[in-house]
Amino acid sequence: MQRIIAVTLAFSLLSAVLFSQPVPKMEKPALIPFPAKWEPIPGECRLSDGPRILQIQDTAIANPEGYRLQIRPEEIRMYFKEKAGAFYAQQTLQQLTSPDGVLPCLDIEDAPRFAYRGMHLDVCRHFFPVDFIKKYIDLLAMHKMNYFHWHLTEDQGWRIEIKKYPRLQEVAAWRKETLVGHYSDQPHQFDGQRYGGYYTQEEIRDVVEYARERFVTIIPEIEMPGHSQALLAAYPELSCHGQPLEVATKWGVFEDVLCPTEETFEFLENVLLEVIDLFPGPYIHIGGDECPKTQWKESAFCQELIKKEGLKDEDELQSYFIRRIDRFLSEHGRKLIGWDEILEGGLSENATVMSWRGVQGGIEAAQAGHDVIMTPTSHCYFDYYQSQSPDEPLAIGGYLPLEKVYNYEPVPEELSPEEARHILGAQGNLWTEYIPDTRQVEYMAFPRALALAELLWSPLSAKDFSDFQDRLARYLPRLDINYADHLFDIRYELDGADLRLSNRLDMPMWYQFDDEKPVLYEGPVPILSDTHLQAWRADATGEPSGRLLRLDFHTHAAFGKKIQWQEPPHPNYQLGGAAALSNGLLGNPTRYGDGEWLGWWGKDVVLTTDLVEAHPIRSAQLRFFQSQGQWIYLPREVELFYSDDGTDYQSLGQIAVEQTKERVQTVVLTFPEKEARYWKLHVTRFGKIPPGMQGAGNEAWVFLDEWILQQ
C-alpha cells in the first residue's frame, strides 16, 4: 500500500508543477469480481505494440485458483501454480483490455475468498437449449464462478436422457400444457401447448467437457423423493398408490411422491449410475426438498417400513431414504448434496447441505460438522423481483435488489471459526416457473450474479457497494447479454415532503406533475398535494432515455412525518424502513415484497407518529396485504389513540377488520374531529394459521403500508 501512495503522490506533485491543473485520479479498473490486491502503475500496455506475454509457474502461490499479474508497456507476466489460476489470470486480462486493445499497467495479486462460487439453473419448468447452457457457463467462468448446479428433474419435466428408462424421454420430458400468468391468478388458465424436451447423453457429455475447460464443475440434480411427478407419470408403479398421473402443468408442491420401496431404490440407483457416468465431478444433488408426507402416512407399506426399521415417523423415513442414496453415492465415490430438508429426521453421514429456507439449516449442519452451501431465499433467489418498477416482467414474488445480494455475508455470525470452515460458499438460484426464455434468464440472473460473484471472490474487508456500482456501470455495457439495467434508473428519496432525484449516469433529469409542463430537475421538489409525478433522464439531444419513473403521491396530515415502531418488522420485509409508512406512496397492489410494504411476523404492530404540531384529524386509514398461501393474513383489529404530550394516550376507538378475500384491504376508522399532535396505532395480529391452510399452526404475517391520517 505504501508504494501506491508514494507513486501517486509523486505523480500528482509533478503534474501539478507541470500543468498546474487537477490530475484525474487513476480510475479503478472495472473488474468484477475485484481482485484481492491491486496496485496501479503509471502507463499502459498496447496489444498492437506486441508486448511479451510470459506464463510463469509459481509454486509459492498458496491457493490453487490464485494468480499474480504484472502488466507493463512491453510485457505481461502471469504467475500461477495451477491451471485454474492461469485461467482466472486470463479472465482478468480480458476484462482489463479495452475494445481498442489497451490495458492499464498494474500489479495484481488475487485468490478467491470462497472455494464454492455457484449458480443454479432450473431447466425443467422451462427448457433451454445446449447453446444457451454453454453461454451461461461462459458467463459464470468469466466472473470466476466455478460451480454450475443443473436442476434436471422436476414435476413439470425430466430433462436428462436415461438409456435404461426410455419412458423418461417419451413421457416424463413432456407436459401437455403450461399455466398462463401467475399461480395466484384465479381461476388457473393454461396455454394448451405441448411443451418439453431433454438433453441427450451426448449433449450432456459435450456440456460437461465445455464446462471443464472453463474450470466449472457441473452438479447435476436428480430430485427425490418429492418433485417427482414427471417421473411418476412415466413409471406410476414407483408411487405409493400406483395410479396413473400426468406430468404437472402448473407450479407448486405436489402430493405424489416416490414410495421408498425396493423397486424405487433399484430404479434410482440405475438412474444414478448413468448420471455418475456422465458427470465426473465430486457432487451429485438429490434434491430432498418439499416432499409432502401425506401419501407415506396413508401407505400401509410405509407404515410397515417405519416399524421394521425402528423409525419414529415419516421425517425419519425421508432420512432413511436419503441415507440409502447417500450410501450408494459414497460407494461410487461421490458426495451427496441435498436441500436443507434433508436435516429433518437426521442428516446422513456424508451429506453436504444447501441451506435455502433461510440460514438456520446451514448453521445446524455446519455445527454438526457438515459442509454447507448457502442459498437462502432472502439473498440468493434470483427468480425474485429485482426492481419496484411496475414494468417488471412477471416473477414468482419477493424482492431482491442488487444491493441486498451484494451485501450478503455467507458466514453466519453464530458459527465459531472452526464451524465457519464448513461454509464452502454460496450459490444463486434461478427457478424458471416465470422465466420462459433465455433472454429472461439473462435479465433475472444479471447483474445479480455479478454481485454474488464478487462477494464470493473478493475479500470481505474490501466490500463496498458504491464502488461495485461504479465499476458495474462501466462494465455492464461490455456484456453482450440482456442484463437488467436498473442500475441506471432514476432513484428517488423523500426528505420529509421534499423529493430528491438522482441517477448514476449524472444525466440531466426532467419531471412533470400530472399534465403540467415538464421541468428540468435542479434540486429537491416539494410535494404539496395529491399528484402523479413522472421523471426521466434526457440524453445529449434532450430525448428521454431509460426507464420512466412514475410515482403516485397521496398526501395527508402524517405525510413526510416520522413514524416509530415498538417492535421492528421482520428483517426480510423492512426495506423501505418506517419512512415507507408516511411517504405518500402506496404499496404495489399485487406484490408485497416491494419497498413500501412492511411485514411483521408473530407480533402485534404498534406505531406512533409526531405531527410536529397539533392537527385536527377525523379519519385514519391503513392498507393491509393478504396472501394466505404465503401465510399473510389480515389482522383482527385496529385501534387508534391520540396524545397531547406523546406519553399519555387516549383511545379513539377500535375496529374489527372484516375478513374478506381481497388481496389489499383498506381499513378506515372515522371519528368526531380530534385535534392532537401525537398519534398511536395498535394492530392486533391474526394469530395462528387455522388447520387445513398452508402453514397451519404457524403464526400468520401482517403486512401493511401507508398510515394515512386525515381531517
Binding site for ligand ACM (CB under 6 A): 289-290, 339, 356
Residue closer to ligand ACM by CB (options 287, 401) is: 287
Cα–Cα distance for residue pair 416/56, rounded to 1 Å: 38
CB of residue 221 vs ligand ACM: minimum separation in angstroms? 10
CB of residue 290 vs ligand ACM: minimum separation in angstroms? 5
Residue closer to ligand ACM by CB (options 290, 470) is: 290
Residue closer to ligand ACM by CB (options 36, 445) is: 445
Cell of 338: 441435498
CB of residue 537 vs ligand ACM: minimum separation in angstroms? 37
CB of residue 293 vs ligand ACM: minimum separation in angstroms? 16
Q: Which helix (H) or strand (E) holds 322?
A: helix 314-331
Distance of alpha carbon 102 from its chain centroid, rounded?
A: 35
Q: Are strands 116-122 and 147-151 parallel, antiparallel or unpaired?
A: parallel
Cell of 421: 470452515
Cα–Cα distance for residue pair 595/400, rounded to 1 Å: 10
Residue closer to ligand ACM by CB (options 112, 593) is: 593
- Say if residue 131 is exposed, middle or buried (CB neighbours under 10 Å; 0-12, 13-18, 19+): exposed
> Which backbone phi and psi does 678 adopt, to 5 degrees?
-110, 140
Cis peptide before 187 (omega within 30 of 0): yes
Q: Which residues pair with 682 in a beta bridge?
A: 606, 639
CB of residue 547 vs ligand ACM: minimum separation in angstroms? 29
Cα–Cα distance for residue pair 121/209, rounded to 1 Å: 18
Nearest residue relative to ligand ACM (C-beta):
289
Cα–Cα distance for residue pair 250/34, rounded to 1 Å: 41
| DSSP sequence for 568-599 | PPPGGG-TTTGGGGSSS-PPPSS-S-SSS-EE
Q: Which residue has the cell 438433453?
A: 199
CB of residue 339 vs ligand ACM: minimum separation in angstroms? 5
Distance of alpha carbon 537 from its chain centroid, rounded?
A: 28
Residue closer to ligand ACM by CB (options 111, 400) is: 400
Residue closer to ligand ACM by CB (options 339, 642) is: 339
With a CB cutoff of 8 Å and minimum separation 6, the contacts of 274 are 162, 163, 164, 201
Cα–Cα distance for residue pair 605/602, rounded to 1 Å: 10
Residue closer to ligand ACM by CB (options 289, 392) is: 289
Cα–Cα distance for residue pair 65/84, rounded to 1 Å: 5
Cell of 29: 479498473
CB of residue 443 vs ligand ACM: minimum separation in angstroms? 20
CB of residue 425 vs ligand ACM: minimum separation in angstroms? 17
Answer whether 355's CB lies under 8 Å from 368's CB: no
Cα–Cα distance for residue pair 117/374, rounded to 1 Å: 10
What's the residue count for the chain?
711
Answer whether 434's CB lies under 8 Å from 396's CB: yes
With a CB cutoff of 8 Å and minimum separation 6, the contacts of 444 are 382, 383, 386, 395, 430, 435, 484
| DSSP sequence for 529-569 | SSEEEEEEEE-TTS-EEEEEEEEEE---TTTT--EEESSPP
Answer whether 549's CB lies under 8 Å from 490's CB: yes
Distance (Å) of CA 397 to CA 180, 433, 645: 16, 11, 42
Residue closer to ligand ACM by CB (options 359, 598) is: 359
Cα–Cα distance for residue pair 292/314, rounded to 1 Å: 10
Residue closer to ligand ACM by CB (options 147, 356) is: 356
Cα–Cα distance for residue pair 388/383, rounded to 1 Å: 14
CB of residue 148 vs ligand ACM: minimum separation in angstroms? 16
Residue closer to ligand ACM by CB (options 113, 149) is: 149
CB of residue 340 vs ligand ACM: minimum separation in angstroms? 8
Residue closer to ligand ACM by CB (options 155, 489) is: 155
Residue closer to ligand ACM by CB (options 380, 581) is: 380
CB of residue 356 vs ligand ACM: minimum separation in angstroms? 4
Which DSSP category does 205 fall into? H
Residue closer to ligand ACM by CB (options 55, 694) is: 694
CB of residue 224 vs ligand ACM: minimum separation in angstroms? 13
Residue closer to ligand ACM by CB (options 274, 383) is: 383
CB of residue 229 vs ligand ACM: minimum separation in angstroms? 14
Cα–Cα distance for residue pair 419/434, rounded to 1 Å: 37
Residue closer to ligand ACM by CB (options 258, 533) is: 258
For residue 195, how many other CB atoms are within 10 A of its CB? 19
- CA dihedral over 261, 264, 265, 266, signed as positive or negative: positive
Cα–Cα distance for residue pair 369/371, rounded to 1 Å: 7
CB of residue 107 vs ligand ACM: minimum separation in angstroms? 42
Residue closer to ligand ACM by CB (options 159, 680) is: 159
Cell of 264: 424405487
Residue closer to ligand ACM by CB (options 174, 339) is: 339
Cα dihedral 507/513/516/519 (nearest 10)? -20
CB of residue 342 vs ligand ACM: minimum separation in angstroms? 11
CB of residue 377 vs ligand ACM: minimum separation in angstroms? 7
CB of residue 289 vs ligand ACM: minimum separation in angstroms? 4
Cell of 554: 397521496
